[in-house]
Structure 1
């Protein structure tokens, strides 16, 4: 595994899992603490160990938080949970093979307190193999971000995205099973039911939807960092992280293979052809990192502390967050951030071309970064088709030649864009509030163990006229 650390804000992100390895057996870590505030411990086979930033989490661990304790754990399938104060959570089962995600099995037991959970690949690909148990009820998922409260006499949850099904134990609802419990005793809740809660009370033989009583967030409030992490994870970062656990592997086996891939890809994607030609009209010389087209960008980026090195110009992500910004996109080296109050208005029609304003790019070998330059940049967004395409040529002294980073994919209604599975590069981007700017992260495998990575900020040509 390759782990990525962020020092100042106590953040560490799982970014790579070798395909073909089944995690969840023996003592192999199945997750890692990416955020910690206050007191928390893990108990395993009677042995207690204090939790700290970067700590591995194993099957069989019981996570216990104190009255001020908050723990966020990212799992090997890109699942994410937040454990809030005065809570106790057991990682009962976590089986995941990146080559066979549909065979994954997950069971988490919330004995007391509150957790927030965003489903990873194991649950997304095998919903019948994902279960959260409380002392009195079972929760299954429909592809979900939910917040759950539990104690010995109450299970209550709210759904932020997707849906869940809940049922009390008894009859055909077995605590030892993995699949969601169904039948007359169960009830479903979806995010579309605003302010509704789903609950089972002690002694009840059915689950019910209600709007009475405090929500899990009101019972135990989230940490201020929680919303930003989950929003970034769900809106854009999830796909970035999934690509690092073997679910897709863009890039070439060698530089020569990459040249052939470019020729093939250009024949397949019309919008990429147009981006390629648009980039050809730009300078073929390496551009300065900041072209000065936008002196006050809405979208900015920083490097994770693990990659800070001795760079005096290193931009701290924690400082950017404290400047009233929130996560928008993440990749192995960078985090892209935007104003917390951003409300995007995405055009419904037309086409926009963007000019590269600023960038930071490297050739990455393990934890070592070699500075790289960019030429021939182009970004096109077709709002009629909700598609994008981009081209960037990457230059570095160690490369045998120029690397052409190409990608295309869909634009979401909330202004995020992500490359298709057949793209040569992993591309994740976001538009600013009025689509006058775009931020984009890229990651291209030059050869095994060698990647071209970068963060870029673009200006809509319309705003330059």
Structure 2
């Protein structure tokens, strides 16, 4: 079925003209874990229309074959929209395509129509505009930072500033835009909120493919600019059947065996019952949480050194200058009911004042009056605290969902003052703990960014 869906062309979507109100953008060729399209679960063969919200949980994946044989993949903990996918077959130069990655990690491989209308392709994140040169690339984003890596081709990246607007069409090209090609293997372009010109990073441990690695069956980008069109799921099914098939029966002997002489009977002495053995290995300790600032900015120094920390832990949440990692150990398993309350034990935060054109000011902030409550029955959480900066006390709050493995996924704040974007995790360490990174808007110029650590009350 998967091979058939991959080989099927999307005739109805390709024929839809620019005047259609909601064109078919593509079709799901693979879905796994918790994943949804609009209000419905994501299933193989389902059509994806313009504007529908695509979302994946902590174990979710969605592979979409676009209407012009391109590829769009959403990895775990992500939200995106195919905002526009209008193919003009009569005049391919009029084709218009726009993707919006709201949070998480996605991969985009240009289709046939996009390659003929690159000037009308746009991939937006909350802070950056990405254009293509016939390309296969991956993107990570949250509300504060975006990072782009190129597999084949090249991209043009710019922050939203000056003449570059989220409402625009095609790449933003100007003095502040930067290009990145597949020849620059291992390098990334990073854009932070308020920055017009992207920053080139080399060998960053926060590459999109490291933050959220691809599945083994994700199509592989080739050096000739193509990608294998079919995930290897069918091959794996055949291999699994081969390993479980019964061995053939033994061949009959070609000669008769010599007659056997019965052996004398030997009295059977019953063996003593086995002695129960106590386990010799202690139970695996619970996985823990590492959190804090990982980027130096002015006089604000890192608390977490990623290269060293990632030797024994993996990044599970990153927002702006702050990160949360989960150490190796027994994973958290969320109960099916009950609730837990947490008290704020420690935190780090700063307030950024963004004046535009890459100019911003950083100021210290502290958190007070914090609360975190988790309801396992509804798989939800709420949290709040006050941000203290200067002579101000600014209340913030957030809510979201709790995954089976304890991951916390906050609802989108959508730039509303007083609301937070949150991502983190629960842990059984220290009798029950939690940590999350966050950012939120104070007013038109100021944002707050930081990380928290909580202990069970």
TM-score (structure 2 length as normaliser): 0.48
Q: TM-score, normalised by structure 1?
A: 0.47
| Higher relative contact order, chain-length normalized (CA < 8 Å, sep 6+) | 1
- Over alpha carbons, which structure has the higher Rg? 2
